[in-house]
Chains A and B, each alone.
Chain A
Amino acid sequence: MFDEGYFNLGYLDTLSYKNTFVHRLDPRAKLIATVAFVVTVVSFPKYEITGLLPFFLFPVLLFSLGDIPVKFILKKVLLVSSFALFIGIFNPLLDRQIVYSCWGFPVSRGWISFFSIMLKFFLTITSALLLIATTSFPGICHALRKLGVPGIFISQLLFLYRYLFVLVEEAMKAVRARDMRSFGRQGKGMKTFVSLVGTLFLRTVERAERIYQAMLSRGFSGNLHLMRPHRVSGADIVFLSSTMVLLYLFRVHDVVGAMGSLSMGTF
């Protein structure tokens, strides 16, 4: 499980270095579009299902234009520890008012709201993962900096990301060593854990001290300077404005209903 978590982390990072139309867009445009998408999806009322369906266009476009492996992301979405599922499953139990029947099956309001929560869950989580898969983490940090997030927090994010892989690898070594010395559950208790984590902590602090000295000798004075000139291009403006327009149209108009009555009219 540990190795898999690490592998996923590294793989998502690798994906973000592809060179497609979506990857080349300005990180700010992608960040703003994703946030607008999430807010619009979440703004639908409790019993909304059909209104959410057109919103699948956004992840589908990012998947296909950004050349992101669908299976990998979907597996991650399904595996994510779902608090939403845990809480949402109570809706069908508590709200049993039957609203209509579908081919003889009675459908209660609770099931509708549960299904609505699950659709929202899928859309929001997928779009968050797609954001990182199409924009590198440093890219998102630069976007946040440009959007006015305090510098200390950005340095913190960049530092965390830089040393994440180093420390996770170190922790992985320690875990492997522990697993080889333990039998089944024996030897994996709290006592071992505490000294394992304690040692990892001490090594971390020592590493931080070395890093600080190396930074000092290179003229560090409290600020991280970022060099990545991002210029807003025509593609960014087109992408962002068309996303906004589509989100607005999908939110306000009943696309599914229109399609339905249109097809009923033609046949």
Chain B
Amino acid sequence: MHMADALLSPAVGAAFWAGTVGTISYCSKKLTDTMEEKLIPLMGVLGAFIFAAQMINFTIPGTGSSGHLGGGMILAVILGPYAAFIVMASVLTVQALFFADGGLLALGCNIWNLGLYPCFVAYPLIFRPLAGSGGSRRRLTIASLLGGVVGLQLGAISVVIETLLSGRSELPFSTFALLMQPIHLAIGVVEGIVTAGVINFIRAARPEILEGSLSARPLSAHLPIKKVFIGFLVAAVLTGGVMSWFASSNPDGLEWSIQKVFGRPDLPGQTSGIAHALKSIQEKTALLPDYGFRKADDDKGRASATSVSGLIGSALVLAGVLLIGYIIRALRRKSA
């Protein structure tokens, strides 16, 4: 499920963009260091393949609905995590631009949710150990099924967390998670079965394509566990920072979720630490001085002050905007 701009706050969007850009640069560096350049056209065309394959539907037995192929797992198995992440990022970028799936700010979150978890969590920690050397068809099936399911579950919980941190939705954490996880479990199982089928098909027809990812090769070498942990640590600090920042500046949005975690509406010790540091940086560099740290009464927005004058003003602004567009269009027609 694609995250949407409208549900994000700028800080959360920017934090996930930072994580995504960092991962893309890391993967690019990794690839330029070890790459046989043969991979460049293969990656590009495989991106187009994922795109095309996702447009093909199939009917899910027992239900009337239709499913399609999920990309991350299959790419990781064929290309290894680094190249797969880059390909997934490119597919999502094109989707965001041409199909408006999510939007530009949410693209960072989407690449993170749908690329990072399958490539850097599900593939090295679940697929690789389970698939072994790829000798047995059953092991390969189980590995891709479980890998797909876990990757999608992590992506779904990540969507929940991003939405909650942004504070635009009223959904409480437990309800939201209970809504998202089962849906994505069902989707994950179906996608996993299909992924397993395609991987087995490839293994039967061109086993040498999978050899690279199943036997250790420098490109898809085992991801060092230490780096994974450092990555998670950075992510945790980042999320923690954003969360406390928001909790201290925007109380009405996150109050309830903080309340659940800490048992009271405010975070302990927010006058020191990262939230405080971020706040002072923000205050010093504020481009939009009233954004982010507005007073509580201002936070209801201008809408609550709506009166007759507000309604008239709205109508005037909209009419003015449309009139400008109409005039430009008319002038263009005339000159053309």
Among B197, B202, B252, B309, residue most surrounded by chain A Cβ atoms (within 10 Å): B309
A38 to B107, CA, bound (A): 12
Verify A202–B205 contact, CB threshold 8 A: yes
Interface residues of B in 94-128 (CB under 8 A from A): 94, 96-105
B305 touches A190 (CB 8 A): no
Q: Which of B161-169, B215-223, B233-241, B270-278 contacts A (4 or more CB under 8 A)?
A: B161-169
Contact of A167 among B38, B45, B300 (CB under 8 A): B45
User: A65-78 CB contact bits vs B (8 Å, 1 = yes)?
Assistant: 10100000000110
Complex Cα spacing A174 to B163, Å:
39
Contact of B332 with A64 in the complex, beta carbons under 8 Å:
yes
Q: A87, B99: Cβ atoms under 8 Å?
A: no
Contact indicator B305/A42 (Cβ below 8 Å): no
Q: Majority SS of interface residues in chain A? A: helix
List the 7 closest pairs (A to B, CB-CB), nearest first: A159-B44, A260-B313, A198-B201, A260-B309, A194-B197, A193-B58, A150-B28
On whether the beta carbons of B104 and A38 are closer than 8 Å, the reply is yes
Nearest chain B CB to A191 CB, angstrom units: 8
In the bound complex, do residue B5 and residue A152 qualify as a contact, i.e. CB atoms below 8 Å apart? no
State whether B45 touches A163 (Cβ < 8 A).
yes
Closest approach, in angstroms, between the C-beta of A59 and any C-beta of chain B? 9
Let me know if B303 is at the binding interface, CB within 8 A: yes
Residues of A within 8 Å of B328, CB to CB, are 61, 64-65
Q: A90-B171, A137-B97, A201-B49 are in contact. Are A121 and B316 (CB under 8 A)?
A: no
Measuring CB to CB, which residues of chain A are less than 8 angstroms from any residue of chain B? Answer: 1-2, 5-6, 8-9, 12, 34-35, 38-51, 53-54, 56-57, 60-61, 63-65, 67, 76-77, 80-84, 87-88, 90-91, 93-95, 99-100, 110, 112-113, 116-118, 120-121, 124-125, 127-129, 131-132, 137, 140, 149-153, 155-164, 166-168, 170-171, 174-175, 185, 188-198, 200-202, 204-205, 207-209, 211-212, 215, 220-222, 224, 248, 251-252, 254-261, 263-264
On whether the beta carbons of A53 and B318 are closer than 8 Å, the reply is yes
**Contacts A131-B97, A196-B56 given; does A83 touch B4 at CB 8 Å:** yes
Bound CA span A254–B172, Å: 32
Convert B143-180 into 0s and 1s, putting 1 for each residue whose CB lies closer than 8 angstroms to a CB of A. Answer: 00000000000000000000100011111100010000
Which residues in chain B, 1-22, are within 8 Å of chain A measured between CB atoms? 1-10, 13-14
B67 to chain A, nearest CB (A): 8
21 examples of A-B residue contacts, CB within 8 angstroms: A42-B5, A42-B10, A42-B105, A46-B167, A53-B321, A64-B329, A83-B1, A116-B303, A129-B100, A164-B51, A167-B48, A197-B53, A200-B52, A204-B46, A205-B206, A208-B45, A215-B41, A252-B289, A257-B305, A259-B313, A260-B316
* Chain B residues with CB under 8 A of A208: 41-42, 44-46
Contacting residues, chain B, for A255 (C-beta < 8 A): 313, 317
**Pairwise interchain contact B301-A157, C-beta atoms closer than 8 A:** no
Residues of A within 8 A of B61 (CB): 189-190
Q: Which residues of B contact A188 (CB under 8 A)?
A: 57-59
Cross-chain contact B316 with A120 (CB below 8 angstroms): no
Q: B164-208, CB under 8 A of A: which get 1 and which 0?
A: 000111111000100000000000000001100110011001100
B314 at the interface (CB under 8 A from A): yes
Q: How far is the CA of A204 from the CA of B46 in the complex (A)?
A: 7
- The contact of B104 among A34, A46, A264, by CB within 8 Å, is A34
The contact of B25 among A125, A150, A248, by CB within 8 Å, is A150
Stretch from B84-92, B130-138, B259-267 that touches the partner: B84-92
| CB–CB A160/B101 < 8 A | no
Instruction: State whether the Cβ of B47 lies closer than 8 Å to any Cβ in chain A.
Output: yes
- CB contacts (< 8 Å) of A264 on chain B: these are 308-309, 312
> In the docked arrangement, what's the CA distance between A128 and B172, Å?
30
Q: Which residues of A contact B299 (CB under 8 A)?
A: 45-47
Q: Which residues of B contact A1 (CB under 8 A)?
A: 57
**What does the 1/0 interface line of B63-99 toward A look like (CB < 8 Å)?**
0000001000000000000000011011101101111
User: Which residues of B have CB within 8 Å of A64?
Assistant: 324-326, 328-329, 332
- Report the minimal beta-carbon distance from A225 to chain B, rounded to whole angstroms: 13
- How many Å from the CB of A17 to the closest CB on chain B? 15
B243 on interface, CB distance cutoff 8 Å: no
Known: A112-B301, A167-B45, A200-B52. 4 other contacts (CB 8 A): A46-B168, A160-B91, A209-B42, A224-B40
B304: contacting residue among A47, A56, A93, A163, CB under 8 A: A47
